[in-house]
Chain A
Amino acid sequence: AQSVTQLGSHVSVSEGALVLLRCNYSSSVPPYLFWYVQYPNQGLQLLLKYTSAATLVKGINGFEAEFKKSETSFHLTKPSAHMSDAAEYFCAVMGSGAGSYQLTFGKGTKLSVIP
């Protein structure tokens, strides 16, 4: 079974500082990986998606993630944090095998941005 592990349930950064949210996956086959964001009292929104086309994936709102197979990692970064980035971020992997049709999510990392 595929799984993802997000290191750090809470991350605090200062406004303008680098954002780094960590995600490691376990998969026996090349995975489809995703980052979703959830703002308070809202559903999830897709930030970016890796599907093996390129190891560096750019998403919305200035976020990007790099797929590193040797480290089984898919960390999310943003060069300069903005107050509006405060939210909870979820790393996810698409289920393996034909007919899975489900995302397996990590536990989430809550990002706080300090003014």
Chain B
Amino acid sequence: KAGVTQTPRYLIKTRGQQVTLSCSPISGHRSVSWYQQTPGQGLQFLFEYFSETQRNKGNFPGRFSGRQFSNSRSEMNVSTLELGDSALYLCASGVDSYTGELFFGEGSRLTVL
């Protein structure tokens, strides 16, 4: 069974640009969550989608957005990038996230210069 696939794995952007990250969940999983991981703040919840609906959103500015498609694939977008957005962005899928049993991808490492 294929795991959670995130693309791209690494990317470099400059301040002010925007970026779109993609996540393909495990087949059959309808819940996709996104987390930001930084050395200073640790793992922070961005948002969660279930059957194309955002059910919860973390405490991030509106520059961070996401969506989920009918095939459960998800994308997150960050507009007007800032240096502080440099992080590892992790996608996790699950049958339903309320169980806490999430399967994480390897992440997309974003560097903002």
Contact = CB atoms under 8 A, between A and B. Distances in A.
B100 A103 contact: yes
Interface in B74-112: 90, 92, 97-98, 100-107
A30 interface: no
Contacts of B31: 101
Contacts of B33: 101-103
Question: SS class of chain B's interface: helix, strand, loop or mixed?
Answer: strand
A93 to B, nearest CB: 9
Interface string A69-107: 000000000000000000000101011000111111111
* Size range of the chain B interface in the assembly: 20 to 34
B4 interface: yes
A68 B45 CA distance: 26
Contact of B102 (A41, A46, A100, A106): A46
Contacts of B104: 36, 43-45
A90 B45 contact: no
A92 B102 CA distance: 12
A58 interface: no
Interface residues on A, range: 20 to 34
Interface stretch (B14-22, B50-58, B64-72): B50-58
B100 A107 contact: no
B106 A42 contact: yes
Interface of A: 32, 34, 36, 41-46, 49, 90, 92, 94-95, 99-108
A99 B43 CA distance: 20
Given A43-B105, A46-B102, A101 B4 contact: no
A102 B97 contact: yes
A101 B55 contact: yes
B43 A90 contact: yes
A59 B50 CA distance: 27
Contacts of A34: 100
A94 B101 contact: no
A107 B38 CA distance: 10
B4 A99 contact: no
Given A32-B100, A43-B4, A102 B58 contact: yes
> Which of B55, B58, B103, B104 lies at the interface centre, i.e. has the most chain A CB atoms within 10 A of its CB?
B104
